[in-house]
Structures are given as structure tokens and as C-alpha cells.
Structure 1
């Protein structure tokens, strides 16, 4: 692992070996190219067109593509590990035994059917025992501790203005549909239809659970969630870290929500006396929620809580419940017609519940040490490219450049897997009780977070497991993290020439680094604190550039009648554009001034851009695309490819783009940040 980013770029760039280049592969899946589509008119389809024509989304999936292929490839690997553990007859209480029993409890459908709803009896009795609305805060805290959906949610992380301390955040939650628009937008027929089907889904589930007033309770629950949706902040508003940072002393919470029993809430969480302040994400929501409590009958609250408990456990319950849960959440909301095989769902359950323990075994078996070493070289060149680029920016002042360099110098790259693995000794797994095990894994994860309060910051912790096909930047830690599972083709190919790797994983690395300087990340300094280190003029110049990006991306319509939200996706669009630009500069650094080899008739620059476009190869069901456009800060894959390339002058040179070509943007309309 890197001790820090300084060592990554202090030396000369790591150069490609000329002799090796001649024997390396291009790394481009040319069988997926569509030669009938010009690279100058639709680069995404030029690279992926044949695949797009032939590919079919599996019946049990909402999408298919490069990301999904890698994620699916991980599942049988994890399955073989789990099956292997069972054959070894692991020692009682060991992590191996816990993984094995967690999986086995989910796979024992006969036992699940025989238990019926008995595993939820104690929960339902707890709901039935509510006799006064003053008990609601403590009840919500209990739901928070067992990770069941509730109107208030919690998280523990570094204080955004004091990164040396962990802090408790509370914020809005409690909806069963993907976004507030599903409740409030009556002008969209598809969202309105989803809402009607959600009402029927609640009624069906309650009826299966023996609720004799299922129809009335379902209507009341939907009405309550609609009231919550009305007072929630939009996803665009939630992107503002300054607006969401509202530090409040515990004693002053009552002024925000008069009569709300915060003492009971914090006592149930187990944090009373451990903290003297917390962060309120959306103060107006809490004030509005206090009114919703007052205006909603206790019976409706009890129906709502019972519904949340039932829904949260549905996948571990008898087939009738699990099937109905799938029919709504996957078929209605995401357009997925077929349920995944049970063994795959069992693997995902184990992965979610005891992921780092599985990750340790995954890394031993599937992550060669050489991959990590090559990634370190790539990261080093990307950081060096950023260092050099900062010095040449014409829109950033010398004062801000100095701060930017200081922040870059403290970047912490994490590659492959953590140095220190999570301890699961406190996790209890009950043989033969799927619902209890789901509860226990969720409670363990929640308590793991709450235990951080008052403790030193753990800079070795990872927010993703090694078997996760993804990457992230954490502004509070100022770290970039690349799990082992993403370090595979088409993102990273150890047998391929550097061009495709810089276009693939290099752009991912650049993307994550650039989050430290996007419209959100740039508000944090190198220590992870919210601090304005920009001059007023730099803010204005940066805002002018990003406003153009908002306009560009807001014009993209991946579905008729539905557009990308340029404000919601701004941070990711900045990262895509910046990441690719820096990856290109890093690739040039790796060549050491020598020309790139021509492989399979393609120049180095062409392979670089094709490598970028092929990682976004994908198809998505219409319903899933609507959910994505409403909730996801990332643009759809085709737009991430073409939308980014239209701003890259080097792409124009590589393919000789001219005015009149469909990918062409006039120079004045292109956005170049890095």
C-alpha cells in the first residue's frame, strides 16, 4: 500500500517498456465494434454497436454490460469459496462457520416455510405495544439500530469540519419508493402507475401477514409516506455539503422539534452521554416530520412500522412473501421479469453480511500480487499528471494552485484490499434462522458504526470489500480506493498494452482523484475538512465551466420524455471529463516521449479512447433507466462515453473530427477543466 500520495509522484513517471509493447495485446474487443457507425458520429456505438445489437438482458437482471459482467463473474467465485468452507466443517464460532451457516440458513427453504412469520412475532409485538406517540422516537432509534427503513436515518462518519472526530448524522428517510418524485409527480404516467402498484403491493403483503384491514392500512401508509415525501429535500439539494452541515448541541434539539423525545431516541441508540452534539442533515425535514407525527394517528404509525419490518425481512420469509417482494421491487420498479437463482441470492446475502471475511479469501485465490504493483504504477502516473496539470491551469490562481497541490500531496491511494481486516467475532449467526441472521448482520453493521463514536479515526478502514466491482473517493479521508475485483478486463488487462489500461482503469483512477476537486470535493481541504480554499475569482471561473456541463448533460435524453438531470449528475460528469483528460496526460507520460506502437491497425490514442468507451458498454431496462435518472448521480453509460469525448480535443485529433460530424462540438462549447 502507499504510505501517502507524495511518494507516488515525487519521482519520474513510470515508463512503458518498448520491447514489451510489441508482444502485448491491444485490449480492444474489436468483435464488438460496428464499422458501419463512424467514430466521428457516435463513438460509443462505433466501439460497442455490434454488442448492443446482439446483447440481451438476462431475465433476472435489470441491465447487462461491462460492469455487470464483472459483478456477475464474482458471484460464482464467492460461491465456490462458500461451498468449500462447508466441506471443511469449520470450527464453531469461526468466521468460516459464520459464512457457511449464514448461507445455509437462507438456502434451507423447508425450514423457512415451516417457520412462517414466527421470526417476526417479537417485532410485531413490539409494534403492538406502542400506546403513545411519545414512544415513537425510541422506536425509530430501534429501527435504526437494526437497519430497518424509518423516517429518520443515521450515519457515523468524520465530522466535516473536524476530521479528527467521528460524528453522528441524522437525516431524512422512510420512503418505500425510489424518490420523492414517485409520490408527488402526477404528470408522469409511469411514476403514477408505480405508485398505484406500490399501494397494491403493500396491501398484498399485509394481507399475506394476516392483516384484516390490509386495504385501509395500505392507503394510510401510502398517505403517510406521501407526507414525508413533501417535506424531504430533493436529491439536488442533498448534494450541498455546506447546506447539509448543521451542527447542533444535544440540548438544543428540542428547539428544532418541540416535544420529540430525543433522550429516549439517543438512549435507545446507546449514544446518550457519548456525544455532546450531532449533525442534522435537513433541519426543515425534522421540523416538518414533527408536524407529521402530530397529524398522523398512532394506528397509522403502527401500521407503517409493521409494514417496514415486514418489507425489510421479505426476502428471508416464505415463498409467497419473497415472490411478492420481488414482483414489486424488481419487476414493477426495475422491469426485471425473472427472479435470480436462490444460490446467487444466498451468495449476495453472505457478501453483504460478512463481506470482508469473504474478501480475505477472495483475494488469496483471485488477486495476483502483480496486479497491485502495476496499479501502483498507474496511480503514480495519474497523480503526477494531476500535479503537472494544476500548475498549467489558466483558470486557477496561484493561491488556489498552492492549496490544490497541498491537497493532492495528501491523497491516500488504497489498492486491492485492506491492510487490516474487519473483526466479526461479535457477529452472532443462528443455524437455521434466516430472518434472525439477516437481523444480526444488519445490527452488527449498525453497531460497528456506532462504536466509532469517541474513538480515534481509523484510516485503515475500507468502505468497500475487495470483491466489489467499483471504486470511490472519500473527501473526509482524502482517499481513493480501488477494490481488487475492478482490476480485470475491460478496466484493467495485465496482458494488454498500456493504452487500453489508461483509457479504462486509468480513467477510473483519474475520475476518483478528480472528485477531490469537483463541485463537492473541492469544498474539502487535504485534511478532510469543509473549508473554502478557493479565491472568489476561481469560484466564479469554475462555476462558469460547470454551468456549461450542466447545460450539456441536461440536453441528453436516454428515454423519450426523460432527460439527464445535469445538476444531480454534475459531480460525476466533472469527474468523467477530468478523469479522462488526466488519464490521457498520464498515458503520454508513460510513453516517455516515444511514439506509441500501432497494434491491430490502431494508434495508441485510438486504443486509449476505445478502451474508455468499451468500459461503458451496457443495456438497461426502461423502468430501471427511469429509476436511475431520478436517483443516480451518474449519467447513463452511453452518455458517460460520448458526452465526455465531445469535450476532449485529443479525441478530435485522433479521429480527425470536423464540423458537420455528429460528435463535433464547436471549440467555444467544449468544457476543459483539467
Structure 2
């Protein structure tokens, strides 16, 4: 929120200007007095800290005011413009789905499909908001699911079923794992959309992007990444969480109130033993899990096998039986299945062979509890809050406002349907056309630059130009499967998902089933390239390598990322760099493996590949030297390999968007065609400086140390500070714009560059 005093000061200055003379046409040297210009200028000024030298730390210079002003909400691990804009968009969704909202959308009486859609949205939101109903249902819905799994995967004399010698079963292996039971259990998890150590899913075939393929992936860890299983403090909390949750969900009902308050309560040895058993199994599972950076490698994860070959990797599972239970009756079992990590599947077999049925049952029950407990009343979620608080650095006593949680559920389950009304409310005017034209200008800059790159040989340049020209744009919302603009299309798309306003737990279960069934039906269908895989209200963008497509949901096309009335140096510095970033993903360390048609195929010569790898290594080393301060006071290094693709995209996006804007600005210095008028209160900055300031503002943020560590371990995006400073360090144009001397922190002699 822009301070009122700052707005008044800028507004007074503009009023005085208007008194002393008529407002001139908005050419490049004119100062804009329009409300949006005043808001944009005030936002830029309040985010900055002009006392910082931009050549020393551009992040602190541009975002120092933001850091001093903004407080991280008590229930959040960070704050940023992505978070702030998401909150604003969620307020709009709330007004749509809350039947009591005064801003509820007006639906025409003859648009019956829209009326039914609104009702479905409200039914889901209402069921989530009805905490009294959840409290009345208690833990029984989850106990019922646990009972189903106990029937699916029975263990003789199981500690989780009444038994005279249950206590002794904690450390006693009971025979070999039953293959049929394990296969049925895997089917159960997959069918309702829950994660286990192996899961089937449907995705685009990387070798033939017009068709779908079945993929077998790994998973099953309850902590964010395998590194956490080496952290004694976290695994101690995690083990205690599992023990407490078993007690809450399966223990004596009289224990529920005492063990859900957060107070130290002595748990029965039965549950502490199970918690320890689960932790020990997950430690072993983490040890054989594939590192995150390797899972991002499309060549390493594209491993086609027959069902018989997969069975030879993990013979403890009857994979044919699993697929028979999962696939719709009209979908044939495919001849080829893509396995993301054959080595994992082989190691999994060894782990299964040495694990007792009792331990597997404990682990499976825990997997159900930890993934479904969020659907219960608040009293059953305290241990999970304690775990999440430890991972995020927040207090376990802070409970987010219920409406925020319920809006997130609507966005997750019925996001495209809610997006229909969001687009009507927030995506108006010329935004779509203006962003489209901006992307085309940046594309033209890339096309001009590609033949000039001395490390690309002629055959690779020809392929790159062909691919660049073929990149498609999808802006605003999905136009098919479903068409977000059509009430009828949305109703048809979601018709298989039944929502009951009185049954929140059931709604979530049915949602998981419907999503799984819908996904598996796609196996017999061609890939739909008009489908957007984000809801319209999402504050994000993406590049799809298999569709060779860049996608910008309407949710991100809002200030500070974009406004149709902003000068071009602001828009190109913000959403323009985002567009350039997504385009560059088509040519980063992963994207360049796909050709113009989206096929995973080697279209590069060896000489160019070697040159690319050498230049990419510069980024790995540069970003790998950046650090963040963890909660323990230690420095943690950015993983230059894990973040390589995003870092290449940041640098390419900044360079090419800047060149695209600069060419337009230089070709029209007076501003007859392109609007580069001045903003009030920013006279001391050149348009070029404001371009770079607009870029940096995208990443203004504050983050708790615990959350930063988790980001380093799990996220291919680097910390915000280094996304700002890392990219400008490599920019000759930035150093020139701010007159940074060679050798200054933001202008090192060694610069990395690719595109």
C-alpha cells in the first residue's frame, strides 16, 4: 500500500504544475499527471533506499524501502510482490465464492450454466468454511480411510489392529511382504491422488509431444527434500509429529483434547514406537531418492520401458495389476511407460525386501494421515502445524484466516471455473493485446541477436531461429479444455466432480478421484495445446518445452508487473523481462534439448553444445558463490546447478527485454509512437535506470531464514536478492546506466552470458 503522505506530495506537485500551465502532450520529456502515473511513481519511490550505492548492492538500493516497510505476515514464511498480488487476487476470488459478498458477480438469469457454476464454487467454499460441520465429523472421516488401507494392506497381528501382543510387534518383522496387497495399496494411493514411493501419472511424451504417455515417478517423503533427513533437529520434530498424529487420529478419543493443544503430553509407547519406525523407513527412502537437480534433467528422466521390464526392476509390485486398477476400462495399458529413475526403482526393491510388512503398513498409514489431516477440524492439525512452523520459521500458534485457506482450496480444485469470473473483473481493456505486442518485440530482438552470437555455428543458428519463430503465446486464460470464457465449457469440464456443501472431507476425496480419473482418460487423447496449466488468477508465468509455448495468466498482468498506462521503460523492465525470461527457458540448459516442435531431440552440433556447456558453467560458479544466512547463523550456498535454468533465463530475459525497449526508445526520442513519458518525482533517474529499477522491484521481498534454507534445497529459483544482483552483475548496460566502475560489486570484470 502506497503511503498517503507520499501520494499527497506527488499529487500537490502535479497540481501546481497544472495551475502554472496547461498539461503538455505526453511526449517523452513530459511528466505524466494521471492517477496511474502517480501511483507507479510513488510505489517506486517508497520501495527504494537512495542511501545505498546501486553499484554496491542493487537489491538493497531498489528494495531497501520495501524491506524496511513490509512485515512478513505472522502466518507466512515470506512477503513479496508475488505474495501481495496473490492476496489481492484471492480477495477477488473470495468476493466471487462467498455468497454473502456485496461484490458477488451478477449472473444473467438466462445463463443457467453460469448459475450452476457459481453454485458449485460456493458449495465447495461453504463446505470448507463450515468449521462446525468439520468439528462434528471429528476424526472419523480420516479413520475411515485408514481402515480402508488396513483392509487393503493387512498385516497379521498388526499393532494398528487390536492384538494381545501388539506392543511386541514394534520391532518384530512378520514374514515377506504380500505382493498382491502391496500392489493394491499402491493402486489405492494413486487412485485418490496421494503420494507414495512410486506413482503413475499422465504427461506429454517428450519424444512425441502430440500424444500423452504414462510415467512412473518416485516420491513418498514427508519432508521437503532428502537433505532434511540429515538434519537432527528437523527429524526429531518430524518423528514427534508422526507419533502425535497417530495418537490423535487412532488413539483413545480421551487423548485428543490434551495432545492437540501443543502442551507436552506423554504418548503411549505404541505411538512413539511407530513414529520412530516411520522415520527410520523414510530415512532409508530418502537415501535412495534422486537429487532434485537430476529430476530436472529431461534426458536422464526419459527412460521408456515395458511393463515387464519395470516388473523386473521392482518385482515386489505387480505393476500390471496396479494399472488394471487405475486405468479406465476404455483405455488400454500402454506398451511403453516412461520411468523417471530406473535406479530408484531398483533400489526400492532392495528396500522393500528388507522392510517388514508392519513397517510398510505404519508408513502407509502415516502417508494417509499426513496428507489428509488438513481436511479435518483444527484440533486435529496442531502437530502438523508445529512441523510446518519449524520448516518455515513461523509460530505454530498462528492459524491463518479460514477464508484464505478456503480460497486456496477453490483455486486448487475449481481454479479455472473461478478464473472465469476473475477475468471478467480484472482482465479488461487492451492488456492482452499490449502484452502480446511486447512479446513480439522481444522475440524480434532475439531473432536479430541469434546470428550475432559467435559461439553458435550456422546449423544451430538455423534451428534456433526456427524454434524462436515457432514459440506460441497463450495470454490471460485457457481457451480450451476448458475454455475459461465459456460457462458451458467450464460446466462440461467439471461435470464429473460432485460437490456437497455439507461434506468438506468428502469433497476433497472426490476431487482427488476426479482429477486422477480425468488424467488417465487423457492417455487416449491428443495433447491439447490451447490448454493453460495454471488458473487465470495465478501470479506466475511459464514456458512449456513440449508445446514450445509461453503462458501468461491474467493474474500476473497487474501492477507492479504490468499496467497498460505505465511508460514502456517500466513495463519492459517488469513484465517484459518476465516474457524474455520465459522465452529464454526455451534455450536454457533443459529447454535447448527440445526442437521447434517440442520434441526431445538433439538438434545442436557438438561444437555448439560444448560452447554452451562452457558458458553455462560460468553461471554455475557465479551463483554457486552466493550465500544466504540460515537460522543457525551459518552461510548456505546457492546450488548453481539446481538454479542454472532460472539463472540463464533471468539473464537472457533482462538483456533482450532491455535491448527491445532501448531500440524503440532510440527510434522515437520524442515519443510520438512509443510512450516513455516521465513519472512525477523521479526526475533524477533516467528512463534506462528506471528500466533496471522496475526489473529489480519484481523481486522485492522478505523471507524467514528457515524458508530460505528450504528454498535452496528444493526450488530451482534462487533467492530474490541474487536474482536481482546476479543478473545486473552480468549486464554491461546496467553498469553503463549507473556509471558503476569496473570491479565494483555490481560490475565485476568477469561476466557470464549466453543469450
TM-score scaled by length of structure 2: 0.83
SS at match of 2:563: coil
Shift of 1:20: 7.4
| Partner residue in 2 for 1:520 | 590
| Partner residue in 2 for 1:142 | 188
Residues 117-171 of structure 1 show CA distances to partners (whole Å, capped at 9, x for unaligned) of 2212432222222235312123112212212121112331111111121001111
| Partner residue in 1 for 2:664 | 590
| Partner residue in 2 for 1:670 | 751
Matched residues in 2 for 1:156 and 1:590: separation?
A: 44
| Partner residue in 2 for 1:443 | 513
SS at match of 2:538: coil
Shift of 1:19: 3.4
Shift of 1:514: 0.4
Judge conservation of contact 2:78–2:701 (CA < 8 Å) in 1. yes
Shift of 1:194: 1.0
Asked whether 1:210 is paired with 2:250, we answer yes
| Partner residue in 2 for 1:381 | 441
Matched residues in 1 for 2:562 and 2:588: separation?
A: 25
5 Å-filtered alignment, 1:518-597, equals: 518-559=588-629, 560-591=634-665, 593-595=667-669
Gaps of 5+ in 2: 1-24, 155-176, 252-267, 483-489, 670-675
5 Å-filtered alignment, 1:81-160, equals: 81-84=96-99, 94-129=116-151, 130-131=153-154, 133-134=178-179, 135-160=181-206
Judge conservation of contact 1:95–1:424 (CA < 8 Å) in 2. no
Matched residues in 1 for 2:582 and 2:733: separation?
A: 21
Judge conservation of contact 2:55–2:744 (CA < 8 Å) in 1. yes
SS at match of 2:742: coil
Matched residues in 1 for 2:557 and 2:404: separation?
A: 22
SS at match of 1:53: helix
Shift of 1:634: 0.4
SS at match of 2:53: coil
Q: Specify whether residues 289 and 21 from structure 1 end up closer, same or farther in structure 2 by C-alpha distance, changes over 3 A only.
A: farther
Residue in structure 2 matching 1:234, options 283, 287, 291: 291
Residue in structure 1 matching 2:215, options 145, 169, 175: 169
| Partner residue in 2 for 1:648 | 731
| Partner residue in 1 for 2:84 | 69
Matched residues in 2 for 1:118 and 1:74: separation?
A: 35
Asked whether 1:19 is paired with 2:78, we answer no
Shift of 1:218: 0.9
Matched residues in 1 for 2:571 and 2:628: separation?
A: 28
5 Å-filtered alignment, 1:501-512, equals: 501-512=571-582
Shift of 1:561: 2.1
> Which region of structure 1 is more displaced relative to structure 2, 49-58 or 595-604?
595-604
> Which region of structure 1 is more displaced relative to structure 2, 586-595 or 335-344?
586-595
Shift of 1:34: 1.0
Matched residues in 1 for 2:438 and 2:739: separation?
A: 28
Residues 380-427 of structure 1 show CA distances to partners (whole Å, capped at 9, x for unaligned) of 111111111112111101110000011111111111111122510110
> Which region of structure 1 is more displaced relative to structure 2, 426-435 or 254-263?
254-263
| Partner residue in 2 for 1:49 | 64
SS at match of 2:627: coil
Shift of 1:23: 5.2
Judge conservation of contact 1:381–1:589 (CA < 8 Å) in 2. no
Matched residues in 2 for 1:51 and 1:315: separation?
A: 33
Q: Specify whether residues 556 and 175 from structure 1 end up closer, same or farther in structure 2 by C-alpha distance, changes over 3 A only.
A: same
Asked whether 1:624 is paired with 2:707, we answer yes
Q: For the aligned residues, what is the CA RMSD?
A: 2.0
Shift of 1:449: 1.5
Judge conservation of contact 1:21–1:497 (CA < 8 Å) in 2. no
| Partner residue in 2 for 1:429 | 499
Shift of 1:598: 5.3
Gaps of 5+ in 1: 1-16, 186-190
| Partner residue in 2 for 1:195 | 235
Residues 437-482 of structure 1 show CA distances to partners (whole Å, capped at 9, x for unaligned) of 1111222222222111021111111110110000000101111000
SS at match of 1:164: coil
Judge conservation of contact 1:236–1:567 (CA < 8 Å) in 2. yes
Residue in structure 1 matching 2:382, options 323, 330, 341: 323
Shift of 1:266: 0.6
Matched residues in 1 for 2:237 and 2:379: separation?
A: 17
| Partner residue in 2 for 1:416 | 476
Residue in structure 1 matching 2:394, options 336, 352, 356: 336
Matched residues in 2 for 1:263 and 1:42: separation?
A: 58
Judge conservation of contact 2:143–2:249 (CA < 8 Å) in 1. no
Q: Specify whether residues 414 and 22 from structure 1 end up closer, same or farther in structure 2 by C-alpha distance, changes over 3 A only.
A: farther
Shift of 1:85: 8.1
SS at match of 1:619: strand
Matched residues in 1 for 2:29 and 2:128: separation?
A: 49
Residues 221-249 of structure 1 show CA distances to partners (whole Å, capped at 9, x for unaligned) of 11111111111111122122111110012
Judge conservation of contact 2:27–2:677 (CA < 8 Å) in 1. no
SS at match of 2:667: coil
| Partner residue in 2 for 1:8 | none
Greater C-alpha Rg: 2
Asked whether 1:405 is paired with 2:413, we answer no
Structure with bigger RCO (C-alpha 8 Å, 6+ apart): 1
Judge conservation of contact 2:31–2:677 (CA < 8 Å) in 1. no
- Aligned residue pairs total 649
Shift of 1:597: 5.3
Matched residues in 2 for 1:240 and 1:356: separation?
A: 30
| Partner residue in 1 for 2:695 | 612
Judge conservation of contact 2:735–2:746 (CA < 8 Å) in 1. no
Judge conservation of contact 1:85–1:97 (CA < 8 Å) in 2. no
SS at match of 1:243: helix
Shift of 1:251: 2.9
> Which region of structure 1 is more displaced relative to structure 2, 601-610 or 464-473?
601-610
5 Å-filtered alignment, 1:484-499, equals: 484-499=554-569
Residue in structure 1 matching 2:310, options 237, 253, 257: 253
Matched residues in 2 for 1:106 and 1:322: separation?
A: 15
5 Å-filtered alignment, 1:449-468, equals: 449-468=519-538
Shift of 1:662: 2.5
Matched residues in 1 for 2:348 and 2:272: separation?
A: 25
Matched residues in 1 for 2:353 and 2:332: separation?
A: 28
TM-score scaled by length of structure 1: 0.93
Judge conservation of contact 2:474–2:530 (CA < 8 Å) in 1. no
Shift of 1:255: 2.0
Matched residues in 1 for 2:378 and 2:339: separation?
A: 40
Matched residues in 1 for 2:346 and 2:117: separation?
A: 44
Residues 486-520 of structure 1 show CA distances to partners (whole Å, capped at 9, x for unaligned) of 11111112221100111100000000000000000
Judge conservation of contact 2:622–2:640 (CA < 8 Å) in 1. yes
SS at match of 1:163: coil
Matched residues in 2 for 1:229 and 1:259: separation?
A: 19
Judge conservation of contact 2:197–2:218 (CA < 8 Å) in 1. yes
Asked whether 1:38 is paired with 2:67, we answer no
